[in-house]
Chains A and B, each alone.
Chain A
Amino acid sequence: NAGVTQTPKFQVLKTGQSMTLQCAQDMNHEYMSWYRQDPGMGLRLIHYSVGAGITDQGEVPNGYNVSRSTTEDFPLRLLSAAPSQTSVYFCASSYGRVGRGPYEQYFGPGTRLTVT
């Protein structure tokens, strides 16, 4: 298993540009999520999905869009990049079935994004 994969690893954007960060998992996990990591702030949840066709907002959703058309893929779209979106972005996945307690989240290697 490749686990959780993310592309690209690095990206530089100009203010106002748009782009899509790709995330894929091959573990047949129901749940997927996107976080951003900023110094001194830990990881903050941007958007999450509990299954194909179902997404919801996390703590910091503004400026980002997601969709989940398949179980495997969960792309994150930046609509109009701003310098405040300079960050490291992590995708994560886990099994669902909440009633049996939270399952471990598996994280991808991250995408380092710089917006100038």
Chain B
Amino acid sequence: AQSVTQLGSHVSVSEGALVLLRCNYSSSVPPYLFWYVQYPNQGLQLLLKYTTGATLVKGINGFEAEFKKSETSFHLTKPSAHMSDAAEYFCAVSEFSGGYNKLIFGAGTRLAVHP
């Protein structure tokens, strides 16, 4: 079975600093990988996804992630944090089973941005 590990349940950065949220996955087949963001009291919103092709994936709000097969990683970065980036971020891997692409989520990383 596939799994996702997010290192660090809480990350705190200063406004304008680099954001780095770590995600490692285990998969026996080439994975489809996702990052979702959850703002307070809201549902999840897709930030970006990797399926095939270019390993550096750009998403919304200036976020990007790089798929590194040799490291089984899909870390999320943003060069300069903004106060509005404070949210919980989830990494997920897609697992095909029963005719359906299930999402296997990591435990999440809560990002705090301080002035």
A: which residues have CB within 8 A of B?
4, 31, 33, 40-45, 48, 50, 56, 58, 90, 92, 98, 101-105, 107-110
CB interface residues, B 75-101, toward A, < 8 Å:
90, 94, 96, 98-101
CB interface residues, B 17-72, toward A, < 8 Å:
32, 36, 41-46, 49, 51-52
Q: Are B105 and A44 in contact (CB under 8 A)?
A: yes
Q: A104-B46, A107-B43 are in contact. Are A45 and B101 (CB under 8 A)?
A: no
Q: Are A107 and B9 in contact (CB under 8 A)?
A: no
* Range of interface residues on B (Cβ < 8 Å): 20 to 34
Residue of B nearest to A30 (CB): B100
Q: Are B90 and A98 in contact (CB under 8 A)?
A: no
In the complex, the number of residue pairs spanning A and B with C-beta atoms less than 8 Å apart equals 60
Q: Are A56 and B101 in contact (CB under 8 A)?
A: no
Q: Are B102 and A42 in contact (CB under 8 A)?
A: no
Q: A98-B100, A102-B51 are in contact. Are A107 and B105 (CB under 8 A)?
A: no
Q: Are B99 and A50 in contact (CB under 8 A)?
A: yes
Q: Are A109 and B42 in contact (CB under 8 A)?
A: yes
4 smallest A-B Cβ distances: which pairs? Answer: A107-B43, A42-B105, A102-B101, A107-B44
25 inter-chain pairs at a CB distance below 8 angstroms, sorted by A residue, are A4-B43, A31-B100, A40-B108, A41-B107, A42-B4, A42-B90, A42-B106, A42-B107, A43-B90, A48-B100, A50-B98, A50-B99, A92-B44, A98-B96, A98-B99, A98-B101, A102-B32, A102-B94, A104-B46, A104-B49, A105-B44, A107-B36, A109-B42, A110-B41, A110-B43
Q: How long is the Cα–Cα vector from A53 to B24 in the complex, in angstroms?
A: 36
Q: Are B98 and A56 in contact (CB under 8 A)?
A: yes
Cβ of B11: which chain A residues have Cβ within 8 Å of it? none
- B103 at interface (Cβ–Cβ under 8 A)? yes
Q: How long is the Cα–Cα vector from A61 to B26 in the complex, in angstroms?
A: 24
Cβ of B100: which chain A residues have Cβ within 8 Å of it? 31, 48, 50, 56, 98
Q: How long is the Cα–Cα vector from A4 to B45 in the complex, in angstroms?
A: 12
